[in-house]
Structure 1
């Protein structure tokens, strides 16, 4: 059984006649009839009822036809995949994305990638703190998106593109805020548990300390920001979260900001796309980088 025979079967069923199928496939009618007969010989039964004006599939013919559609679709997908690799396009591309990044800023770029390279598998690898920069350094990710210091990116020798700003705010549930009894200094928060997202990297350089965590602070650790947010809403602690993650909760009064008169807790960060300065440039990674530049512009 050959793919060509299955293709002929599909054309005859879709067009309703040998003549129309021959026209569609740019073949002669005898060639179409011969392919059908060869297929029927291999299946050991007639696939069409030829007693009427229009060819109709027999019960067995319907089953063979439906199965042939699946086979042809898989064969066509395989052909596209082979062409994809022949062009040197990546089978998989990994993008390290810091958990605090607003994904709404990335979706237009990812949508274009999906349209242009449908055969490439995209892995969005969630990271916290130094995890994104480590992923690029170890080349386990082609590109990273993360709040970062431009000075640190230059020290690492990375190419980088600023994509936008994000504001991080210290928040807690209104019930816990009331228990804090109008704190004036950061030290007034020590006896209330600070919920901290654990670093997914090796915490080297500027990350080799807990930024924003004071000595003696009671603390809980979580591995992701969604768990952190859940604990804060439940009144189990306080902590810093990006504004886009908590805008609705602040508006609804489920969270409130901790604003100390003598300590500025909220701060702005710049979100960067960054990569190795001399990457092995391939089509998918290059499209991503080009689109991030366009987005920044």
Structure 2
């Protein structure tokens, strides 16, 4: 049994057809079919039910597939470990930062990183909602700093550490609040545009719906919170922003809280730093992780 055969098995299960698996692996369909047949010959049983359009795992096939995922993960960890030994410290390290997280939490850590690893390139990825989790899950980022719920991080199998809490506040410019004429319910806000930051990830699971957006709500979409703030200050809409991002605007009365009787529009969030639970972690990523513990 070869790792290559297990990779073919994983690709076929994930894509559902031999053709799609061949495309994802950049191989011919006969080569993929041959690898599957060889694997079935070695296990002594059929791994797939081929009666339908999509290949479906048999009971034995599912057990083999689940075990193969563990074997492939171990092999990928070993490959990563060898590469770290060969290269020493990482040439590049990527950090995903959610727009709702206070960047002041990151700057002292980055200052220490710059002093200790001056030759390592650092890439900071700005993410929104599920984007940070997806970046770490896919390996595109070594770690991330973002608001999250502990159970979500547990389900992803991440290592995580709490950093601080913040408050998301629903705000609008004074001119727009005057136009709202003392709203009493969420329904009173429907005709005023809500400005919403688009999810930078695939919005799966908990994120696969627009939280805090009511049916029939007029809405505009932006790709980052700074653009969102600019539109809110200009009186072009209302929306939710993290407290640290609008402290100055609130102090200068350029933005105000939207207050509705019996309705709590603002809510608290908890920011975490998290990473994949991998055995092979480079010295730069390790330094970053440890720095957040102090």
Q: Which residue of 2 aligns with 1:168?
A: 168
**How many Å apart are 1:87 and its aligned residue?**
6.5
Of 224-233 and 180-189, the range deviating more from structure 2: 180-189
Q: Which residue of 1 aligns with 2:202?
A: 202
* SS, match of residue 202 in structure 1: coil
Q: Which residue of 1 aligns with 2:284?
A: 284
Please give the alpha-carbon distance, in whole angstroms, between the structure 1 residues aligned to 2:231 and 2:85.
46
**How many Å apart are 1:238 and its aligned residue?**
0.1
Distance 1:85 1:226, change over 3 A: farther
**How many Å apart are 1:291 and its aligned residue?**
0.6
Please give the alpha-carbon distance, in whole angstroms, between the structure 1 residues aligned to 2:267 and 2:188.
20
Q: Quick check: 1:85–1:91 contact (8 Å CA) kept in 2?
A: no
**How many Å apart are 1:280 and its aligned residue?**
2.4
* SS, match of residue 292 in structure 2: helix
Please give the alpha-carbon distance, in whole angstroms, between the structure 2 residues aligned to 1:135 and 1:167.
24
Q: Which residue of 1 aligns with 2:154?
A: 154
CA offsets per residue over residues 126-178 of structure 1, 9 Å max, x none? 00000000001110001010000111111111100000001110001000001
Count, aligned residues: 211
CA offsets per residue over residues 62-108 of structure 1, 9 Å max, x none? xxxxxxxxxxxxxxxxxxxxxx9976100000000001111111111
Q: Which residue of 2 aligns with 1:187?
A: 187
Q: Which residue of 1 aligns with 2:212?
A: 212
Please give the alpha-carbon distance, in whole angstroms, between the structure 2 residues aligned to 1:145 and 1:245.
16
Distance 1:85 1:114, change over 3 A: farther
Q: Which residue of 1 aligns with 2:177?
A: 177
Please give the alpha-carbon distance, in whole angstroms, between the structure 2 residues aligned to 1:273 and 1:234.
33
Please give the alpha-carbon distance, in whole angstroms, between the structure 2 residues aligned to 1:90 and 1:138.
18
Please give the alpha-carbon distance, in whole angstroms, between the structure 2 residues aligned to 1:239 and 1:262.
18
Compare CA radii of gyration and give the structure with the larger one.
1
**Displaced runs of 4+ in structure 1, greater than 2 A?**
84-87
Q: Which residue of 1 aligns with 2:106?
A: 106
1:1-297 mapped onto 2 (5 Å cutoff): 88-294=88-294
Please give the alpha-carbon distance, in whole angstroms, between the structure 1 residues aligned to 2:85 and 2:155.
35
The two structures have a TM-score, normalised by structure 1, of: 0.69
Please give the alpha-carbon distance, in whole angstroms, between the structure 1 residues aligned to 2:280 and 2:232.
43
Please give the alpha-carbon distance, in whole angstroms, between the structure 1 residues aligned to 2:86 and 2:257.
54
Please give the alpha-carbon distance, in whole angstroms, between the structure 2 residues aligned to 1:195 and 1:279.
42
**How many Å apart are 1:195 and its aligned residue?**
0.1
Please give the alpha-carbon distance, in whole angstroms, between the structure 1 residues aligned to 2:215 and 2:293.
41
**How many Å apart are 1:184 and its aligned residue?**
1.1
The two structures have a TM-score, normalised by structure 2, of: 0.70
Please give the alpha-carbon distance, in whole angstroms, between the structure 2 residues aligned to 1:240 and 1:174.
15
Specify every segment of 5 or more residues in structure 1 that has no aligned partner in the other structure, as ranges: 1-83
Please give the alpha-carbon distance, in whole angstroms, between the structure 1 residues aligned to 2:201 and 2:279.
21
